[in-house]
Amino acid sequence: MAHLILASSSPRRRELLQQLGLEFEIFSPDIDESVLAGESVTAYVQRLACSKAQVVLDQFPDAVVIAADTSLGVDNQILGKPESKQHAFEMWQRISGRKHDVFSGVCVRTITEKSSIVVRTQVEFQQLSLNDMESYWATGEPLGKAGAYAIQGIAARYIPRIEGSYSNVVGLPLYETVQLLQSVKALN
């Protein structure tokens, strides 16, 4: 089996990849995650995933590198991780009572091959009251999460339905990741 490296420090991505029964190492690259002027959410997550994969591959050229990036898209704008309580509340007000899209870019790289994809899942959020927001913020769960929520945690209580890949919303679309690994011949 190929030497797999997950280019991420996310415990959620680690747990998801472990579900596949794969053995892998973790190496978290440091890249600039600034959004480029006029960049769409799909282009953004794909660019970051491929940049992360390349940084790790440069250090481990014999490895198969798996990298991902996840962001929310609302009204053609990217919602990343909250910078403050106020920022989280602003995000929740934008997604409250409506649907939004979660996009994950996944890139699998070897020294000779590169395969990538962007996966979209639509998430419906219930209407949140100020009390809902205060209570959820107090849990600490929104910190460090795209869109200021974790579907696999307490936020599940606010999400009546999704259309698409659940693992994508958590941070790594598993089916598509396996397809990419197979395309670079890292899995049978």
Distance, in Å, from the CA atom of 64 to the CA atom of 181, rounded to the nearest integer, reads: 8
Active site residues: 69
- Print the SS3 string covering the chain: CCCEEECCCCHHHHHHHHHCCCCCEECCCCCCCCCCCCCCHHHHHHHHHHHHHHHHHHHCCCCEEEEEEEEEEECCEEECCCCCHHHHHHHHHHHCCCEEEEEEEEEEECCCCEEEEEEEEEEECCCCCHHHHHHHHHCCCCCCCHHHCCCCCHHHHHCCEEECCHHHHHCCCHHHHHHHHHHCCCCC
Alpha-carbon distances, residue 67 vs 60, 86, 173 (angstroms): 14, 30, 11
Phi and psi torsions of 35, nearest 5°: -80, 135
Which tokens in the block code for residue 65? 């590198």
